[in-house]
Amino acid sequence: MNKKFFSRTLCWMATLILIAGCAVSESYRTGLELTKENRWEDAIGWFERAVKEEPGNQEYQSALQKAKQEAAKRRYEHARAQLISTAGTVPDLEMIAKESAKAVSLDPTNPEIKNFHDSLVTKINQLKEKVKTLYSQSEEDMQKENWLGALAKLKEINRIYPNYEEMGSRIAKIEQEGAKLFYQQGISLAKQEEWKMAAEAFKKVIEINPQYFDVANQYEIAKSRDNPIYYLRGGDAAAKAGNFDKAIFMYEKALEYQPEDQNISKKVKELKQKAGRSYFEEAVNLANNEKYYAAIKKLEKVKLYLPEIQTEPSFVDFTKKFSAKLTARGDKYFERELWGNALIWYQYAEVVNPGQSDLFQKLLDVKDNINKRIKKSIAVFDFGSPANNRDAGKIAANKLISYLHKNASGDIRIIERENLQSILREMQLGQTGIVDVKSAQTLGKVRGIDTFIMGEVLSYTAKTTDNPSTGQVKVLVDEQEEPNPEYQFWLLQHPKPSAEDLKNAPPRTKKRRNYQFISYRHGVAKISALIEISYKLVDTSTGENIFSNTIAGRLVKEDKYQDAVPAAGIPHDPLELPTELEVLDELTNEKISEMGKSVLKQFQSLEVEYFNQGEMQRLKRRNHEMAVERYIDAIFDEKLKGISTPITTKSWQLIENLIQTH
């Protein structure tokens, strides 16, 4: 029975082996069939299954490797073909890179495929970096309103990387803002008869947005007038109408196209002679009728069109007399302390007759008065002190004065402490004696001080605290030799030990260690400084507070320390702390800096304040003389600060508009 059972078992095992062999062979055969159809990637899965079922089969492994190599080769060839036919955008290259990456994963040992993939990735990264740079540059161009430059960069980005980030919104903004700007420029230039530049502006609009309003029609009009014939006809018409300025302008524009045309040059010369004589007569009549501004403008054209007239006795005599009249008008304003208006007419007098001897000093005086007027004078009084430190108020005030001296702009004057003390002694007031509105106004008016800074130091302390403690450490004091019990026990077992036995014996003695607890001192020390200051700025013209505030601060410095215990390896850590005075001084400097910034903030935009006051005088009160004063203040304030903003340009424009009736 056992033999029969054993035979059946062998039979079943053989059958199972046969079935298993057939399954593996089937996977392999399927893979081979697929390779005959060049379906290499499909075959890979079957070969991998075959290898998994029979890992040691070299034939299966070779078939799998070949399938991967052939599949990689096909993907590589497909990627190369795509690269040749593609537009080369980043998204296209990224898709091709995915294909080449699969090829590399199938056959990582193929150098040709790997080099192709690496170069593709490098190119993609370079293009992305280029796009990033162009995008940043386009943003800068847009901020500078260089719309065409920005548009060109965005178009290049769109070619390399379509739909990159906010491309759509940026292009839309350029189409809106850029087209609007160039269209307005074109219209403005057209009104000035600058047709060449107008055509260029309208062309830029068309490049941005061809459908923008009537730009195509405006461009055609500008092109049709961008020629010498148009300007010659315009010059003839203006000359016939007696419009000298327009005629000269049109003829000179025609000369830009035909600079060698002697007939046009002759017309311009004759017309300038005629215009110069005519304008001189008009200037004389206007000056006699006290229409000084109009006379000045006519004289400017006389000098422009007929410069040789300036040596003629009649012209020299007139300019001397006219300059004297302008100076006299300036003197009247000076007497009324309207120095801005005086400056305007003195400057006009200097333009009309630069050689007038008394003008130089008059201009210096009026400019000096304007600078004094616009400079805000600030006086800092000693602050009140707390009971624990009578010098705290003086310390705070001195530090504030020092900060203001270092950081104030040119339109602010800080009264020196010595000068303030002298003033207060004269008025029989102490350093902190200004306590009411009346005394503040009196002192400000008498001494030309605009703002007082007063305050009180409410808290000014520094305290040291030390929290020492005692620690203990176990330290080895010495070691003593004593008999080893283990050796004694061993010796009982080996009463007559040989030399060999002694080699394996325990030590005869052992060391006994003696320890001792040693105390040492350690701890943390800290210095805490506190400061609190209340202060206010008082306008001396009204006696009212401009600004009031309270600042407070706390500064803590701490350090750990410990005694040395060399035997225990504990190093010495000394206490290293600044003094209480040093900590308090550091905190005071920090808070005074904060205070100084808040003070200067009240005066940081004086030019804007002066300009706004001028606008109020011009628009609401209709007081043109005072408006001129404030506009001049704004201009001089910017000069003192060494800055230049549109306020200066705008102020001069408004001043000229206001004095046109004079």
Token pair of 472, please? 């203990």
236: tokens are 């003839």
Q: What was the pLDDT predicted at 427?
A: 60
What total of structural domains would you count in the chain?
4
Nearest to 148 by CA among 206, 193, 234: 206
Domain C-terminal end among 572, 597, 622? 597
Looking at the fold, whether 98 and 72 belong to one and the same domain comes out as no
512: its two tokens: 């006994």
Q: At 455, which helix (H) or strand (E)? A: strand 451-483
Mean pLDDT over residues 385-404, rounded? 94
CATH number for the domain harbouring residue 563: 3.40.50.10610
Whether the per-residue pLDDT at 430 is higher than 70: the answer is no
Comparing CA positions, the residue from 139, 159, 150 lying closest to residue 179 is 150
Residue 263 lies in a domain: no
Burial bucket for residue 499 (CB in 10 Å: 0-12, 13-18, 19+): exposed
- Specify if 276 maps to a domain: no
Q: Which structural domain range is residue 34 located in? A: 20-83
Q: What is the DSSP string of 544-588?
A: -EEEEEEEEEEEEEEEEEE--BGGGTB--B------HHHHHHHHH
Q: Within this chain, do residues 71 and 93 fall inside the same structural domain, yes or no?
A: no
Is 99 within 8 Å of 78 (Cβ atoms)? yes
Tens digit of each residue's pLDDT (9 = 90 or more) over 33-44: 888 888 888 888
Q: At what angle do helices 292-305 and 262-288 cross, to 10 degrees?
A: 160
Is the domain of 593 the same as that of 629? Answer: no
State the pLDDT at residue 1: 41
Cα 120 from chain centroid (whole Å): 37
**Do 415 and 539 fall into the same domain?**
yes
Residues 302-347: tens digit of each pLDDT: 999 999 999 999 999 999 999 999 999 999 999 999 999 999 999 9
| pLDDT score at 448 | 80
Mean pLDDT of 434-448: 68
State which of 143, 159, 177 marks the end of a domain. 143
Does position 161 have pLDDT exceeding 50, yes or no? yes
Q: What pLDDT is attached to residue 613? A: 96
Average pLDDT, the chain: 88
Q: Using 50, 70 and 90 to split pLDDT, how confident is the model at 3?
A: very low
pLDDT at 415: 86
As a whole number of angstroms, the distance between CA 532 and CA 528 comes to: 14
Q: Cα–Cα distance between 434 and 432 in angstroms, integer? A: 6
Beta carbons of 84 and 66 less than 8 angstroms apart? no
- Provide, rounded to the nearest whole percent, the portion of the chain with pLDDT above 70: 93
Q: Are residues 90 and 113 in the same domain?
A: yes
Confidence of residue 241 (pLDDT cuts 50, 70, 90): very high
Poorest-confidence range of 1-10, 18-27, 587-596, 636-645?
1-10
Q: Considering the domain boundaries, does residue 550 fall inside one?
A: yes
**Nearest one of 479, 487, 476 to 509, comparing CA atoms:** 487
Tens of pLDDT along 101-117?
A: 998 898 888 999 889 89
Least confident of 6-20, 73-87, 137-151, 435-449: 6-20
pLDDT of amino acid 271: 96
Q: How confident is the model at residue 175 (pLDDT cuts 50, 70, 90)?
A: confident
| Least confident piece of the model among 91-95, 164-168, 205-209, 370-374 | 164-168
Q: Provide the pLDDT confidence category of residue 436 given band limits of 50, 70 and 90.
A: low
For the segment 404-412, the average pLDDT, to the nearest whole number, is 93
Are 384 and 444 members of one domain? Answer: yes
User: Tokens at residue 414, please?
Assistant: 């800080």
Q: Are 600 and 408 in contact (CB under 8 A)?
A: yes
Q: How confident is the model at residue 25 (pLDDT cuts 50, 70, 90)?
A: low
Overall average pLDDT of the 449-457 stretch = 91
Q: Is the pLDDT of residue 360 over 50?
A: yes
Determine, yes or no, domain membership for 123. yes
User: Would you say residue 239 lies in a domain?
Assistant: no
Q: How far is CA 653 from CA 204, 346, 525, in A?
A: 30, 18, 67
pLDDT band at 428 (very low <50, low <70, confident <90, very high): low
Residue 106 shares a structural domain with residue 75? no
Per-residue confidence (pLDDT) for residue 231, from 0 to 100: 96
Q: What is the pLDDT of residue 429?
A: 57
More confident of the two residues 478 and 523 = 523
Residue 647 in this model has a pLDDT that exceeds 70: yes
Residue 205: pLDDT above 70? yes
Task: Give the DSSP letter of residue 174.
Answer: I
- CB neighbours (10 Å) of residue 553? 15
Question: Residue 363: pLDDT band by 50, 70, 90 thresholds?
Answer: very high
Cα gap 207→329, rounded to integer Å: 55
- Of 597, 620, 639, the residue that ends a domain is 597
Domain identity same for 24 and 115: no
Residue 662 shares a structural domain with residue 532 = no
Q: Average pLDDT in the 571-598 region?
A: 94
Q: What's the mean pLDDT in 410-431? A: 72
Q: Could you tell me the pLDDT band of residue 571, with boundaries at 50, 70 and 90?
A: very high
What is the average per-residue pLDDT within 241-260? 95
pLDDT in tens, 83-97: 888 888 888 888 989
Q: Is residue 370 situated within a structural domain?
A: no
Model confidence at 12, pLDDT cuts 50, 70, 90, reads: very low
pLDDT bin (cut points 50, 70, 90) of residue 230 is: very high
Residue 174: band (very low, low, confident or very high) from pLDDT cuts 50, 70, 90: confident
Which residues have C-beta within 8 Å of that of residue 543, sequence separation ≥ 6? Answer: 436, 437, 438, 440, 441
67 pLDDT higher than 60: yes
270: in domain = no
Residue-level pLDDT at 485: 85
Of the candidates 135, 106, 134, 104, the one whose C-alpha atom is nearest the C-alpha of residue 121 is 104
Task: Identify whether residues 579 and 656 lie together within a single domain.
Answer: no
pLDDT of 48 reads 86
Co-location of 528 and 545 in the same domain = yes
Q: Tell me, what's the pLDDT at 17?
A: 42
The better pLDDT of the pair 418, 253 is held by 253
Question: Average of pLDDT values for 129-133?
Answer: 90
211 within domain boundaries: no
- Tens of pLDDT along 611-634? 999 999 999 999 999 999 999 999
Are both 49 and 121 inside the same structural domain? no
What mean pLDDT do residues 380-391 have?
92
In the block, tokens 């001084």 appear at 585
Looking at residue 300, its pLDDT comes to: 96
Instruction: State mean pLDDT over 418-423.
Output: 69
pLDDT(285) > 90: yes
**Percentage of the residues of the chain whose pLDDT score is greater than 90:** 53
